[in-house]
Structure 1
Amino acid sequence: MAIRPSAVVPSGITHLLWPRMEELVRWISEAVRVDGIPQTLVAVLRGGAVPAVCLSHRLGLRDVRAVEVTHTTDNSTNATKTPKPVTVNPASLGDLTGLDVLIVDDVAGTGHTLTATAQLVTDAGASRVRSAVCVMNEDNWTGRLPAEAAVTYIGTITHGWVIFPWESNDEHEH
């Protein structure tokens, strides 16, 4: 697991602007390079699409796939969680047999979405599965392992809801 040191932001609602997102993606790409560039990126839709495309350019990867796995009922701040992650069209992953795969999402809260996606990627045949999130919300983490042990690359840690630049034009950044 790699996490950027001294990257914890305070509680409440965190508004991330593009410069901060670019910094997080740059840091994640550097950490991934150290461990070996994967063959395929899998974006968790919708939030993971933007960071996955940014990472694909930084890592020089053209094989970017996507799967929709959601754990909230809507896009509102502090949205209600579904009892378990909901997957739409897992066949969109295609055949991942023998591939080194990096799953990318914007935020990890409970850890359930990443766990469900990792299982889908494994079921599709991936030989190595890693995960990267721009932000870890430790207030919601309920995964079996501590967040730092369950997610391979974490850009930053927060305590509370995160609003990403593609979700808001707010001028405040933490």
Structure 2
Amino acid sequence: MVNNHSEPGAPERGGKPFPVSWDQFHRDCRALTWRLNEVGPFHAIIAITRGGLVPAAIVARELGLRVIDTVCVASYDHDQQGELRVLKGVSADIAKLGGGTGKGLLIVDDLVDTGKTGRLVREMLPDAHFAAVYAKPQGRPLVDTFITEVSQDTWIHFPWDTALSFQPPIRDGAG
């Protein structure tokens, strides 16, 4: 079965379902921002794609940040899971803002699951502040700030993955 979480080793969709509506996700992102506001200021946000794009946009708005970059990581192609690959790293301009180690930079993701992606990004920017909306026990030690912890066998149904029932991305044959 294909794993639609961003990290290798994440549970299959048969885990405990945890549906998250757009309203709930927005509230959770704002709650995350309240915590981050106490920690900042930050020079820039780095979203881990793709899941980190939506929370990064909300956090950037709430913190008044205009500089947003991405780290693009892939763990599988279609249904073949493999090693993590960095498709795009942090831009040189953003890395300079963080002194090369990430100091004053904010990394944002929707979920830290097994921690494999988080470890990879931490190696790139060891002094950045890492925030996720949701955290699972295996990945939780990697994040500095998060809102909700769920069990490792929980399957989060993000609002962009669902309608009245799960909807695969259009590219994968959804009509």
Superposed CA RMSD in Å reads 2.1
Gapped regions of structure 1 (runs ≥ 5): 1-10, 123-127
Flag the structure with more relative contact order, 1 or 2, with Cα contacts below 8 A and sequence separation at least 6.
1
Q: What is the correspondence of 1:40-59 to structure 2 with a 5 Å cutoff?
A: 40-59=44-63
Deviations 1:93-143 (A, max 9, x none): 333124211111111111111111122235xxxxx41111111123xx1x5
Gapped regions of structure 2 (runs ≥ 5): 1-14, 99-103, 166-175
Match of 1:63 among 56, 59, 67: 67
Identity %: 23
CA distance in 1 between partners of 2:81 and 2:147 (Å):
23
Q: Secondary structure of 2:134's partner?
A: strand
Q: What is the correspondence of 1:106-121 to structure 2 with a 5 Å cutoff?
A: 106-121=110-125
Alpha-carbon shift at residue 19 of structure 1 (Å): 1.4
CA distance in 2 between partners of 1:94 and 1:163 (Å):
34
TM, length-normalised to structure 2 = 0.73
**Given that residues 136 and 156 in structure 1 are in contact (C-alpha distance below 8 angstroms), is that contact kept between their aligned partners in structure 2?**
yes
Runs of 4+ in 1 over 4 A off after TM superposition: none
CA distance in 2 between partners of 1:86 and 1:51 (Å):
22
Alpha-carbon shift at residue 36 of structure 1 (Å): 1.5
User: Which residue identity does 2:106 align to in structure 1?
Assistant: L
Deviations 1:63-83 (A, max 9, x none): 000111133555xxxx8853x
Larger Rg: 2
Match of residue 12 from structure 1: 16
